[in-house]
Structure 1
Amino acid sequence: MFERPSGFETAILVSVDFGESDYLESLEELKQLSTSAGLEVRGTIEGKRSTPDAKLFIGSGKADELRQAMQASECNIAVFNHDLSPSQQRNLERFLQARVVDRTGLILDIFSQRAQSH
């Protein structure tokens, strides 16, 4: 839905603690992956939930906090430290009016950047 803007891409990372033991390590790895993908990370939004929200994954309150943080820091991408369903990604892109990438999509972006055809 939202194409990559030309020029430098800036991001806010989004991570939800669902009680996993490796939560902090996973968030640190996401920061490194984002940097490897060529993103400038300008902040992190963290939350704690027992289950993902069906519509926006992070819930409407946290989504509003994310939108405000993206506007304040002039970010054009939200990178989620989780896999999103296609409808969650679409709903978030509409709500944020920005590109939304989940963890798997970020890894695929890195691979496609590094791929060379012969």
Structure 2
Amino acid sequence: MNHCLIVDDSRSIRKVSRQMLEGLGFRVSEAENGEAALLACRSEMPDVILLDWNMPVMDGHSFLKQLRASPSGSAPKVVFCTTENDMSFIARALEAGADEYIMKPFDKDILVAKLQEIGVLRVSSGGAL
């Protein structure tokens, strides 16, 4: 079972994202900022990370740069999920090592499409596998 870490300072975003991901068969953990996410990754590296940009303590961009610099930090697929839609933010996210980018608010169909694009979810005609 794939493990997803949701990193967002919004409890409601984490809750909704968790429901979507668990419905797709993921095991889910949460962190409220980049610093807590780094600690979670040191404890158990997830397969995929949904990452907010703007958070207190440590933002998503700083977290991603530190994650990718860590010994096993190249392994997880990272999807930025943010309200930042300026091309400069998207470029910075991709340069820092993000695999994909989703604009908030997003729904299950958008999430499924992005997870398929990065290779962590296969969907058959009967539903998610």
Q: TM-score, normalised by structure 2?
A: 0.45
Q: TM-score, normalised by structure 1?
A: 0.48
If asked which structure has higher relative contact order (CA below 8 Å, sep 6+), I would say 1
